[in-house]
Amino acid sequence: MRIRIAFALGCLLLAAPPARGAEPAWYQDWNSIRRAAAGIKTIEASFVQTRTLKILSHPLVSRGIMAYRRPNELRWEYRSPLQTLLVVRAGNLRRLIKHGGVWVADASAKLEAMKIVLGEINLWLDGNFSSSRTFRPELRPAQPGQPARVELHPVDPSLGKIISRIIITFAERPGTVNAIDILEEGEGVTHITFEDAQFDRAIPDEQFEPPR
């Protein structure tokens, strides 16, 4: 389930560098966030994920690409160090791992708990945090030196033992985020930033289908 949460958040709003001069008021309340997210039809971006661990002197760095097409199609692909692929289309989710040059099914995609989070994805894609049954959202306004963000707190205590909090930091461009931080109980933070985002370009259907 935790795995899907990260994915879901990645597809959520989808990052972009701040657009200079943009009006930041789009994230002033849940309704304005939802309206802004609805204004984005497709997104393509690469991402960098860093994971800190006490036993490592350097963070573990993972890289990948993502693509999203409204209303509910998603590709989330890690290219290093592991090669894994998640595609979501028409409510169907496929998770694959590349091994020996071949994509094979990932058994973790069958986890029952994951379905709970999948039910949340559309809400998040719509910027509709306030309807979530899995996370209790808190909107944090921008402060000097700290952009506006949403903090998601697990409703289910058992999920809270895995993820204590998720922070989604908004960008200035309406409907986009700069970064996602996943905080776990105890040590460790996973930080995801997005790069080279492209908006509202046509994305071929194949991007949201498992490799043949």
Partner 1 sequence: MRAILVLFPCTIGLACAHLPLLSPLPAEDAHGIATRCRQAFPVQPWRATHTIFASLPFGQNGAVVGVTAVGSGGLHAVLLSPEGICLFDASQASGAADLTVHRAVSPFDRPGFATSLISDVGHAYLPPAGEPIAIGSYATGETVCRWSQAGETTDVVLRADGPRAVRTYRDVRLTRDIDLLGTAANGFFPAVELRVPGAGGYQLDMRLVDHE
Residues 152-181 that bind partner 1 (CB under 8 A): 162-163
Tokens 């994509």 label which residue? Answer: 103
User: Between 30 and 103, whose beta carbon lies closer to partner 1?
Assistant: 103
Q: Is 22 in the site for partner 1 (CB under 8 A)?
A: no
Helix axes of 2-12 and 112-125: crossing angle, nearest 10 degrees: 10
C-beta separation of 45 from 207 below 8 A: no
Site track for partner 1 across 39-58, x = CB under 8 A: ----------x-x-x-xxxx
**What separation, in Å, do the N-terminal and C-terminal C-alpha atoms of the chain show?**
26
Among 71, 119, 160, 188, binds partner 1 (CB under 8 A): 188
> How far apart, in whole angstroms, are the C-alpha atoms of residue 103 and residue 106?
9
82 vs 57: CA distance, rounded Å: 20
Nearer to partner 1, 9 or 33 (CB): 9
* Eight-class DSSP state of 17: P
Instruction: Please report whether residue 102 would count as binding partner 1 according to CB under 8 A.
Output: no
Q: What residues make contact with partner 1 under the rule CB under 8 A?
A: 2-3, 6-7, 49, 51, 53, 55-58, 60, 62, 78, 81-82, 84, 97, 99, 104-108, 113, 162-163, 182, 184, 186, 188, 190
